[in-house]
Amino acid sequence: MTSVAFVTASQWATLTTDDQLAAAELEKRGIRVQAVLWDSDSVDWQSFDAIVLRSTWDYFKRYDAFLEWLAKLESLNVPLWNPVKVVRWNSEKTYLAALAKQGVATVQTVIVERGASRNLEGLVKDHGWLKAIVKPTVSGGAYETWMTDPQVARDDQSAFESLLKKSSVMIQPFVPEVASNGEWSLIFFGKQYSHSVLKRPRPGDYRVQEHLGGSTVSQQPPQALLDEATRICQLIDGPLLYTRVDGVEVKGRFVLMELELIEPLLFLGKDTAAPARFADALEAVLLKN
C-alpha cells in the first residue's frame, strides 16, 4: 500500500479538518496517510512514498531547525512536496522582490536587514504611507505582525528594534482594499486551478485569518484575477503539488500579497470536488517518483 506522510507540528499533531478531507479521498484510492511531526527524531522518512507539508505552522518560529530538517530530507533523497528548493525559496518573503522583477504586481516592500539600525518613523514618513504593516521576513499567520502609522511609529520604535535583533523585517503600506474588498486565495493543484475563497477581516481589523476573527467564503474570482494568478503559478520553475495565490484586487488589477507554497490551508471544505483534485495531483507526482 502506498504510504504518504502529512507533516504536522506538535501543536497541530493530528490532521486538520481540512486535511482529513484529503486523507479520506486518498484512502479510497489505496493511499495510506499518516500524520507525522516534522521535528520528530524517530521518523523513518525513507519509509514513505512521499512527504507532504501540511500543518507545519511553527516553522517560522524555529526557522534554523526547519532548514536543517529540509537539508536532511534532501540528503536522504526523500520526495518532499512541495520540493525542498521551492520551500527554501518561499520561506523568506524576499521572494516577492524576485516575482516583482518578473512583472508581478506586488505590494511595495521595504526590507530592513537583521541587526540594522533604522528609524521606523522616518521610513513610514519618507514613503508617505498613512498606515503600514510591519512583520518579519520569515513569518506566517500574522506572527509578530502589527500596523503602524506616522503618529505612532515613534512609539513602535522599541518593538521594531527588538524584532530586528531576531530577524530581517519587512514594511509595507496597508492596502485598504483588503478591508473593503477582501483578500482572494486562489488554490491550484499541479499548477491547475481548483477553487478559490474570499477572506475578509473582522470590522476594524486588517487580518483575514479566521483564528483572528476573519471570515472566509467560497467565491469565483473575476477572469482577469484568475488569469494573473495562473500566470504567477506558472512562473515557478519545476513541478508543484499545491499553490495558494493570495492577493487583492486594486483598480481591477490583481496585486499579489503572498504566494503560499509551504503549509497553506487549502480550503478543501469550501469546494466538494477539491479533495479529489488534490488527490489527483498527488497521484500524479507519486507516479513520477
**pTM surpassing 0.85?**
yes
CB 4 within 8 A of CB 34: yes
**Cβ-Cβ contacts under 8 Å for 48 (sequence gap 6 or more):** 3, 4, 5, 34, 78
DSSP E strands: which ranges in 38-104? 50-55, 80-81
CB 232 within 8 A of CB 99: yes
pLDDT score recorded for residue 257: 94
Angle at 142 between CA 231 and CA 271, to 5 degrees: 50
pLDDT score recorded for residue 81: 98
CA torsion angle for 31, 49, 258, 190 (degrees, to 10)? -70
Task: Give Cα separations from 233 to 50, 109, 119, 270 (angstroms).
Answer: 22, 21, 36, 21
pLDDT score recorded for residue 18: 95
Q: Report, as ranges of residue numbers, the positions in the chain whose pLDDT lies below 50.
A: none
Cα gap 8→251, rounded to integer Å: 39
pLDDT score recorded for residue 118: 94
pLDDT in tens, 38-81: 999 999 999 999 999 999 999 999 999 999 999 999 999 999 99
- Residue listed under C-alpha cell 507554497: 261
CB 60 within 8 A of CB 138: yes
